[in-house]
Structure 1
Amino acid sequence: MNFSNKNLLFFFPESPFSKRAGNVLRTYTNLKQLKSLGFNIDLVGVEDYYNSFGDSPQDIDSAIINDVFVLKTKPPKKKLTLEYWKYKIQKKFNKENSNQYLTQYLKDNFTALLAQKKYDYIFINYEFWTDLIRDQDLKGAKTIVDTHDWITLNEFYNNKNLDLGKRFGKEINNLSLYDKVVTISQDEYFIFKSFLGDKVINIPPSFPENFEGSNIEKKYDLIFVGSDNPFNILSINWFVEKVLPLLPKEIKICIIGRICKHVPDHDNIEKVFFVDDLNIYYHASKIAICPMLKGTGIKIKVVEAMSYGLPVVGTEKAVDGFSDKKNNGCFVSDDEKEFAKMITKLIDNKSDYLQLKDEAIHFFKNNFSEKKSVELWEKTLNF
């Protein structure tokens, strides 16, 4: 189907062009693939997010995005204006929302956007922004939500007193409002499909193949790429404290991203806070590690590493959402001694290393290719 005359409104709170974390990088990839199908895409973000990350609406790719709208969460602080007092009073009477940025002022601004232009598709990222479309006149637009994660479980990790039944009921209720519900994890696909039926479709993350540089001389034994979210901080601290002391003294480790702020200085670790091009570092590394202890959904960092032909050593969380928990290019264990042994085995035994590397490449080609992803988007949106 040709979508060249179709208008798509794409909501993602932060700038997808920063590519600072796995979820952001995947969103950028989705935009590229949707554009390749011919859509006219308008991007909507939230000013508080842009400001907190130091992003600018000017830093977009005009080859992908037609217009960008960065919405405010509250009116300017001019106490003499009617608008200011209107929202000040509304805030007192509105029921408390767990998403503090989803204010009535933001919703009203989103409504104003919908009034300006007719959209054929409205694309919302994350279930907890669903109130943006609730009770709106969408003028016949088809709605899609990209779940990213199982939000109830994610929130439970951060709050053990969470009322699971109430929160999951709300999540399912929100997802039921959409025409299509997109997951990236096979596990979450089965959960949501059980409640919501055929409107749920799984579209795994995708990357271009970068296998051609895999024979470059290796500078690092291990590589870890991550933002400074709480799950990454917990995971890399576990690795440094529990696993690193068990590894060979000469091992070389490269850690990239904002996670470096939380990594102690160590003779074996090279910290790189930001790079424009990860290709150089992935091609210079032998093995990717993913020591995640918490979190939901597919780990984008694992798929990205596989796109470079790297085998992965991780915890059991590293293969969350995979269609096959074995024969996928990953060695996994939650035990620090086993984790260290798996790394040492791959470094010392070339045949084991090459076998796992081949598995990673094969699994990537069968599950995470760009071509397959574009075909799934086309099928999902053709309804």
Structure 2
Amino acid sequence: MTPIFPAKAGHSVRILQLCRAIKALGHELTFIHVASKLDTQKPDIASHVAFFGERHFLHLDNGPRQARFAFWLRGKLRRRWRKILRGFGHDHSHYSGLDENWRNPWSHQLRAMDRRFDTVVVEYAFNSRALDAFPASTRKLLDTHDAFADRHRPFVARGFRKGYWVSLTPQDENQGLRRADAVIAIQAQEAEHFREQLAQYEVSERNPEIAVVSHYIGLDQPLPDHGVDHAALYLGTNMLSNQISLRQFLEHVLPRVVSSIPDFRLRLAGSICNWAPDIPNVEKLGFVDDLRAAFARSPLSVNPTIAGTGINIKLLDAMGAGVPTISTVTGVRGLGGEFNNGLLVVADHDHAAFADHIIRLSKDAGLRRSLGLAAFADAQRWNERQLAALDHCLRGDALTDTAPGHVARWRDRTPPPFPTAT
């Protein structure tokens, strides 16, 4: 349901890089798009056709008028019922049904396709019903992006009744996971969460393999010039978790930095600019086509994340550009200690320490460059690990040791280099 052109958000960037990696591994790739209200991005059709080829970019329609009306009516009744439950403070009002946004005509069109695939990858657990449309001989993978079981609860605990997007019961999420032969988590902690959840709820003899294939990093060359002082970049989409995190930064960290460096500039990039207030020392860049150019103007990345799940793509983007990052502990979740050589990490609410690191690095181009080169080297090793793990998932082959500190390798072959296109 997520188009990869334009790649304006973290989930579309992940899928784009996943597609590039699959093609780099030598596979013929077909992209099938469905227009779901869960993702409002409109696809750039011409760019998709140019990337995949006309025969390999397909779109599923929503079926005849009668089917569309029935789908709309069911959704309207569900929303009204949940509004009533929410008025009584009922926790169940926050849950979505696993398949409630999947349309039956899509399954019919997938079954009627006149081509066969060795492997099918479905994005998100709540789209997992697509897997049932393919024969048992097809290897079925589910790219989860996130854990959606009870996803609303940390948001509600903070006083937010919206912003969590989709929340499933653990039983429903398990049902979606079990439709796949292998489940792809984006970080080790979520992989372990899925294993524990599958074992805890509705124990089944058929549980999928759980693998970790994180986000890929668009690599070119590390930033050659770190000479711009007194500036930092925050990159993010207009999500509630980013709003929470940036608000804390603007209220508690930025004033400390400005008191020491009056001309300091915090530059914001991405759709978070649509939410951010207009205040001194903050410059809104909006959506940027060339992220390297934005980092060249602000060769220091800040990642003050205190809410959300998954792994921070903004962190990986900075690594791929060869730019150091100052981050909270929550902001580096899922990265692993062996990939933090270009980072400075502080406790989630240690505003003084965060500000001190910004002040020190924004005045020292040499330190920024040395940390940036370390970050870029980590990015190269990171991509090699993800490519090996992806090949394992696509083929179902056994891997050698993938413990922390080791890069997964094929037993019989060496992985090809990851594509360098950004």
Shorter-chain TM-score bucket reads 0.7 to 0.9
Distance 1:304 1:220, change over 3 A: farther
Distance 1:210 1:254, change over 3 A: farther
Give the drift of 1:309. 1.5
User: Equivalent of 1:123, from 121, 124, 129?
Assistant: 121
* Deviation digits for residues 147-166 of structure 1 (CA, Å, limit 9, x no counterpart): 1112226433334499xx98
User: Equivalent of 1:266, from 279, 297, 303?
Assistant: 279
The aligned residue for residue 323 of structure 1 is 336
1:70 correspondence with 2:59: yes
Give the drift of 1:115. 1.8
Give the drift of 1:217. 3.2
- Residue type of the partner of 2:148? I
- Residue type of the partner of 2:328? T
- Residue type of the partner of 2:243? I
- Residue type of the partner of 2:361? L
SS at structure 2 position matched to 1:123: strand
SS at structure 2 position matched to 1:63: helix
* Deviation digits for residues 157-181 of structure 1 (CA, Å, limit 9, x no counterpart): 334499xx98223223321221111
* Deviation digits for residues 188-244 of structure 1 (CA, Å, limit 9, x no counterpart): 123224547771111122224344433253266200111111111221122112211
The aligned residue for residue 254 of structure 1 is 267
- Residue type of the partner of 1:346? L
The aligned residue for residue 227 of structure 2 is 217
Q: What CA distance in whole angstroms lies between the structure 2 residues aligned with 1:59 and 1:99?
A: 33
The aligned residue for residue 170 of structure 1 is 172
Q: Is the 8 A contact 2:178 2:208 kept in 1?
A: no
- Residue type of the partner of 2:347? S
The aligned residue for residue 408 of structure 2 is none
User: Equivalent of 2:312, from 277, 299, 310?
Assistant: 299
Q: What do you get for the CA RMSD once the two structures are aligned?
A: 3.4
The aligned residue for residue 4 of structure 1 is none
Q: Is the 8 A contact 1:292 1:315 kept in 2?
A: yes
1:21 correspondence with 2:9: yes
Q: What CA distance in whole angstroms lies between the structure 2 residues aligned with 1:90 and 1:49?
A: 14
Q: Is the 8 A contact 1:313 1:339 kept in 2?
A: yes
SS at structure 2 position matched to 1:318: helix
**TM-score normalised to structure 2 length:** 0.74
User: Equivalent of 2:19, from 9, 31, 37?
Assistant: 31
The aligned residue for residue 206 of structure 1 is 216
When the two structures are aligned, how many residues end up with a matched partner? Answer: 360
Gaps of 5+ in 1: 1-12, 77-81
Q: What CA distance in whole angstroms lies between the structure 2 residues aligned with 1:88 and 1:223?
A: 42
The runs of 4+ residues in structure 1 deviating greater than 6 Å are 88-97
Q: For structure 1, which segment, 116-125 or 50-59, has the greater mean C-alpha deviation from structure 2 after superposition?
A: 50-59
- Residue type of the partner of 2:152? E
Q: Is the 8 A contact 2:99 2:129 kept in 1?
A: no
Q: What CA distance in whole angstroms lies between the structure 2 residues aligned with 1:86 and 1:158?
A: 32
Give the drift of 1:251. 0.8
- Residue type of the partner of 1:70? H
- Residue type of the partner of 2:310? G
SS at structure 2 position matched to 1:313: strand
- Residue type of the partner of 2:375? A
Distance 1:190 1:92, change over 3 A: closer
Superposition pairs of residues 328-367 of structure 1, within 5 angstroms: 328-331=341-344, 332-334=346-348, 335-348=350-363, 353=368, 356-366=371-381
Q: Is the 8 A contact 1:210 1:309 kept in 2?
A: no
The aligned residue for residue 192 of structure 1 is 194
Give the drift of 1:91. 7.2
Distance 1:21 1:219, change over 3 A: farther
Distance 1:350 1:61, change over 3 A: same
Give the drift of 1:125. 0.7
Q: What CA distance in whole angstroms lies between the structure 1 residues aligned with 2:340 and 2:73?
A: 58
SS at structure 1 position matched to 2:293: helix
SS at structure 2 position matched to 1:297: coil
SS at structure 2 position matched to 1:228: coil
Q: For structure 1, which segment, 337-346 or 92-101, has the greater mean C-alpha deviation from structure 2 after superposition?
A: 92-101
1:377 correspondence with 2:390: yes
The aligned residue for residue 150 of structure 1 is 147
The aligned residue for residue 227 of structure 1 is 237
Gaps of 5+ in 2: 83-94, 200-206, 397-422
